[in-house]
Chain A
Amino acid sequence: MNYQNTDLSALAERLLAARKSAGITQDTAAAHLDMSRPTFIAIEKAIRRPRPEELVKLAALYKTSVSTLLRQATQPPKLLPHLRTAFSGEAQDQDELEIAINKLTSFVDDYLFLENKLDAKPVTNFPPRIRAPVAPIERFAEHCAQEERSRLNLGAHLPIYTLREVLEDVGVHVFFDALPSKLAGLYVFVPDFGYCVLINRLHPKERRRWTMAHEYGHFLMDRDKPGVDYLRPMQRKPENERFADAFAAAFLMPDAGVQRRFYEEVERKSDFNVGDLCGMADHYAVSLMAMTLRLESLGLVGRGTWDGIKESGVAARDLKREAGVQDAPDADSVDTFPDRYKLLAVQAWASEKISTGTLARLLRCSLVEAREIAYRCAEVQIDENGISERFSVNLTESLLAAR
């Protein structure tokens, strides 16, 4: 293929998406190319093919690469209009939100590029979508969380320390990146690709885990409806948000497990105090607030317990320190990209389908770091779907059969 034979419509679509993502007007872009606005519009309408030097200039102006603009096999995902409709904040937050949406769009675009490059099948074995019954939504969310834990073999008692890994295994594409502090996460379903979640990496571990579980609740209930989650509480939450919150609580802090631990503590000490609360929050890797509210909702501590703690003015981290709870490192990866994405990128590089420069661009890192990641992953085998097989020994292989 050569440039003159590339699909002009695909190029125009990418140019348009890149300009919008960069927040540049048609007037500015036209002036940058020293051409009239109608001539520039002809480029974006696929009427006129940009000259090579114009393409190079536009890539620089849009802060992207010529090679990205020339991608032909996949189209840039259009997440912005969908997620914009979910925006309910103040106008000043709109710009920050658009930056976050553009990040997620770029991640998904690169993921699609890799899947296409390796002919890897997208993950589509999603759990069935849940229909909300005419019943209290919080009770229903509790039931759904129990069912989901059972389906995923997570048991009814234990914390889920590797939450990101669990969600990625069921086909949710979880990305992490630095977002404005008010923004907890975004979620959107992309046809022919899957459900994507972008989590604010700058938030504390407990908050990130809550957001992930919350977005998974949305995935189960209203995956076709994109959304933006903010830290600020809403006055009155709609039903789908109440479901996602209740689901997150029950998924991360299962009723049976919480009750068992609670009664064990009570039996041991004939009491359950704030220090025990701190220990339990640490055990489930959730915030003190989330743990307290969960115990309140299960009727294990009195209503208003959290309000009392909050009104004391003592910071949760100080309480935890006083209780001797030390911050454990996050069991989950906080890498920008899901493992599958990284493995696909390394596989594409190892099979010489992409250059080292492209690998670095896809992994958003320097060339040295890209090669380091590639060599680190080199022993990992990847099957046709891009799923890693970390061991050459099958863990389900019987050790008794050979006797």
Chain B
Amino acid sequence: MSHYILDACALINLHCGWGGLAELRTFGTSWSIGDTALREALFVRDFDLNGDICKVTLDPQAVIANGNLHVLTLDNAQEHASLVEFALELDDGEAQAMSLAFHRKRILVTDDRPAARVASGPVGVLTMGTPEILTAWIDSNPQQRHRLPAVVRRMSVLGPFQLKKSSPHYGWWQALLSGGNAGSGV
């Protein structure tokens, strides 16, 4: 079974897209988040009854329960040492997630380019972005495919999260946003 660790932005993206994290339970994998990243994901946005965007304060305990997330903290000198190394390039939440991913052999879910750059360096942490998580979601839940355009639109508007043109998933993402046929994924 694969183990994933979310950074705060990935959590926000998925929460905005799905309207919660319950879909994480359908993957058959384990999901975790560092305590720093959990504290950073203070707010998301959602549509209110009138269709207007509103700010929603996240209750950490509800988020944990909803996504069946394991909250991780650094618990040894090596993990702290790695956090400090990564904090030379990243903010504390991202650095902690990277350290946890490195030492506990988890796949880091991040859309942050500086974080992905650090991960692909000598440290060699595996990463996945939000588009890849969505693809995996559809692959393991084909009956949910019809929801994908709406999920992507929600992420785009509420996140707000947009892919850079340089992303290999850009065309797929844009096709979903414009309501076209996005194929089977990336």
Contact = CB atoms under 8 A, between A and B. Distances in A.
Contact of B92 (A3, A65, A352): A65
A368 B87 contact: no
Interface in A216-244: none
Contact of A357 (B8, B80, B117, B159): B8
B149 interface: no
B59 to A, nearest CB: 15
A2 B55 CA distance: 39
Contacts of B40: 357, 360, 366-367
A103 B55 CA distance: 26
Contacts of B80: 51-53, 56
A355 B92 contact: no
B19 to A, nearest CB: 15
A352 B88 contact: no
Most buried by B among A53, A353, A369, A372: A53
Contact of B91 (A56, A361, A369, A372): A361
Contacts of B43: 366-369
Contact of A59 (B77, B92, B161): B92
* Interface residues of chain A: helix, strand, loop or mixed (majority): helix
Nearest to A375: B160
A56 B161 contact: no
Given A70-B87, A356-B9, A367-B8, A375 B94 contact: no
B42 A355 contact: no
B159 A66 contact: no
A355 B83 contact: no
A357 B90 contact: yes
A52 B81 contact: yes
Contacts, number: 97
Nearest to B81: A52
A1 interface: yes
A55 B84 contact: yes
Given A352-B114, A367-B8, A372-B160, A357 B93 contact: yes
Interface residues of A, number: 30
A366 B74 CA distance: 23
* Most chain B CB atoms below 10 A, which of A59, A70, A366: A366
A229 to B, nearest CB: 34
B115 interface: yes
A3 B99 CA distance: 14
A358 B85 contact: no
Contacts of B44: 368
Interface in B10-30: 12
Contact of A1 (B42, B74, B88, B113): B88
Interface string A334-358: 0000000000000000001111111
A371 interface: yes
A366 B87 contact: no
A371 B134 CA distance: 20
A1 B55 CA distance: 39
Contacts of B81: 3, 52-53
Contact of A2 (B12, B88, B115): B88
A69 B64 CA distance: 30
A206 B161 CA distance: 38
A343 B167 CA distance: 23
A6 interface: yes
A356 B8 CA distance: 9
A356 B42 CA distance: 14
Interface of B: 7-9, 12, 40-45, 55, 74, 77, 80-81, 83-85, 87-95, 112-115, 117, 159-162
25 contacts: A2-B85, A3-B85, A51-B80, A52-B80, A52-B84, A53-B77, A53-B80, A55-B84, A56-B80, A59-B92, A65-B92, A67-B91, A70-B87, A352-B114, A352-B117, A353-B114, A357-B8, A357-B90, A357-B112, A358-B90, A361-B91, A366-B42, A367-B40, A372-B160, A375-B162
Given A3-B88, A356-B9, A360-B40, 4 more contacts: A355-B114, A368-B45, A368-B55, A372-B160
